[in-house]
Structure 1
Amino acid sequence: MKQMMNMPQNLSMNAPFGLPSTSNPTSAGVPATKDRKMASAEHLVLDLSNPDLRESALLELSKKRELFQDLAPLLWNSFGTIAALLQEIVCIYPVLSPPNLTPVQSNRVCNALALLQCVASHPDTRMLFLNAHIPLYLYPFLNTTSKSRPFEYLRLTSLGVIGALVKVDDTEVISFLLSTEIIPLCLRTMEMGSELSKTSL
């Protein structure tokens, strides 16, 4: 972790995505604004690996995720980033039962889930996301029974990740979800959730 914290800020993570170096913003006809956005995304993704900066980076990336082109491949291919997002998910398992999830905890993990939804919806990362069985990490959230708002947001955002997977008519995605416990979990969500989460199914 110390090595990640000491890494240089101007990573060359943009190379796999066909973008030029930030030192030459207008090369290859790429507008400078687009290049600056990518550099900003890279900086925030790097911050995810630093526990002291992660909460702020989660918030910024989740709010601006639609502005960053190819954010999903950047998240997936950046060293330690998916592990950091999964850590955010796993660390709140203990407060699910008995239900002690606070609004602050809920907002933070929902921001992490929003980034995973970005990965789940991108054509270049969807099957990688599925083959890593990452949806299984969300199932405990769908199995919660508390009707409080923090838990409702958690269920709703988790459903958003699952929904991103099934928006594309892919038999492999459907087979994976049917082979797991997603159907009873969705029924549980319909039983326990508000009208908003019920209509998301």
Structure 2
Amino acid sequence: MVSSAVAPATSNPPARVRYLIRGLASEETREQSLDVLCKNRLAYDNLAVLLWNSFGIMSVLLKIITSAYRPLLSDGLTENVVTQVCNAIALFQCVASHPDTRIPFIRAKMPVYLYPFLNTMSNERSYECLRITSLGVIGSLAKVEDPEVIEYLLSTQIFPSCLRCMEVGKTLSRTVSTFIIYRILLSEKGLEYCFVLAERYLSVSQCLGKLVENLSEDDAENLPQLLKNIIGCYLRLSENERTRPQLSSYVPWKLLDHKYANIVRSDPEALADLRQLVCNLRTSKSCTTHCTDDQPASSDSSGSSIP
């Protein structure tokens, strides 16, 4: 069974939580219990462990999630279906985030059931809600420095699915999917995975380039984090000296514009990464001098620089 007891169960969970979890098993109370658990998932200690160890509950969540597959393909998604599925996926994220259930979760290959939502090509509201909620689960896995998690992500279709989300999703989906790619690239195995196939490296480089070209300042809330993730990805790719000259042709000079430097200026780490990226991409000997200055600069085709 998917929900077999792998992680240690918490002792004496609050009666309210036990009641709501039992409510998931009944079709009469499922929708309300799902809604309340989702809205209060951060307030309930060890909810992930309780969900994972409660007999049949993960199967119930899977049933809710997979119920959207057919309407997903036939454009028959209703608001009620999307809400229930997103709530179930949010509880998946709760399980994926918890240190006691994270590894059992990936060993059971639970993220596989999210692929249909990651691979849709529509950015209509219903599809976007399913996409961003599913990305939240993968993002919760990716942000943890665990070799087994990275191994799992690299052994699945998560990487190409995230590249697809970077292309078709809206700003928030693009931000989270780029974060996942960045976290994968931070690991040596993830970086090696990217460079094993020329086509894969090319896909990542071109996808990042399209992201930069299509940056929209309309979403001021998510733009700084998206920029930081893009810069982080480029910086990791630029650490490969063999492909660095080729990468220079894929990084849009638009990224080095004062406008975007100003957007990330409040984040010292992002600004430092941008400056380091500029230095890595410069092939002239003067780069060494610039990189050691307090205010490194890089000129783009129009003569602007990163202050």
TM-score tier (shorter): 0.7 to 0.9
1:189 to 165, 179, 189: 165
1:98 positional shift: 2.6
User: Does residue 93 of structure 2 align to residue 100 of structure 1?
Assistant: no
Worse-superposed segment, 127-136 or 96-105: 96-105
Q: Hey, what's the Cα distance between the residues in 2 that align with 1:48 and 1:162?
A: 24
* Secondary structure at 1:174 match in 2: helix
| Over 2 Å off, 4+ runs | none
On the 8 A contact 2:142/2:149 being kept in 1, the answer is yes
Superposed counterparts of 1:42-191, under 5 Å: 42-191=18-167
Q: Deviations over 1:148-189 (max 9, x none)?
A: 101100000000000111121011111111111111111111
* Secondary structure at 2:26 match in 1: coil
1:62 positional shift: 0.3
Q: Hey, what's the Cα distance between the residues in 1 that align with 2:11 and 2:73?
A: 45
User: Does residue 11 of structure 2 align to residue 18 of structure 1?
Assistant: yes
Match of 2:15 in 1: 39
On the 8 A contact 2:9/2:53 being kept in 1, the answer is no
1:75 positional shift: 0.2
Q: Hey, what's the Cα distance between the residues in 1 that align with 2:28 and 2:20?
A: 12
Greater RCO (CA < 8 Å, at least 6 residues apart): 1
What amino acid sits opposite 1:183 in the alignment?
Answer: F
Q: Hey, what's the Cα distance between the residues in 2 that align with 1:80 and 1:145?
A: 33
1:100 positional shift: 2.0
Query: In the comparison of the two structures, how many residue pairs are matched?
Result: 170
* Secondary structure at 1:96 match in 2: helix
Q: Hey, what's the Cα distance between the residues in 1 that align with 2:9 and 2:149?
A: 26
Q: Hey, what's the Cα distance between the residues in 2 that align with 1:113 and 1:129?
A: 13
1:99 positional shift: 2.3
Q: Hey, what's the Cα distance between the residues in 2 that align with 1:120 and 1:97?
A: 27
Q: Hey, what's the Cα distance between the residues in 2 that align with 1:53 and 1:180?
A: 35
Q: Hey, what's the Cα distance between the residues in 2 that align with 1:40 and 1:122?
A: 20
Q: Hey, what's the Cα distance between the residues in 2 that align with 1:146 and 1:77?
A: 36
Q: TM-score, normalised by structure 1?
A: 0.82
What amino acid sits opposite 1:48 in the alignment?
Answer: L
What 5-or-longer segments of structure 2 have no aligned partner? 1-7, 178-307
* Secondary structure at 2:43 match in 1: coil
Q: Deviations over 1:96-151 (max 9, x none)?
A: 11322122211110000011100000001000101000000001110111221011
What 5-or-longer segments of structure 1 have no aligned partner? 1-14, 20-34
On the 8 A contact 1:113/1:158 being kept in 2, the answer is yes
1:16 positional shift: 3.8
Larger Rg over CA atoms: 2
* Secondary structure at 2:73 match in 1: coil
On the 8 A contact 1:99/1:146 being kept in 2, the answer is no
Q: Percent identity?
A: 51
Q: TM-score, normalised by structure 2?
A: 0.54
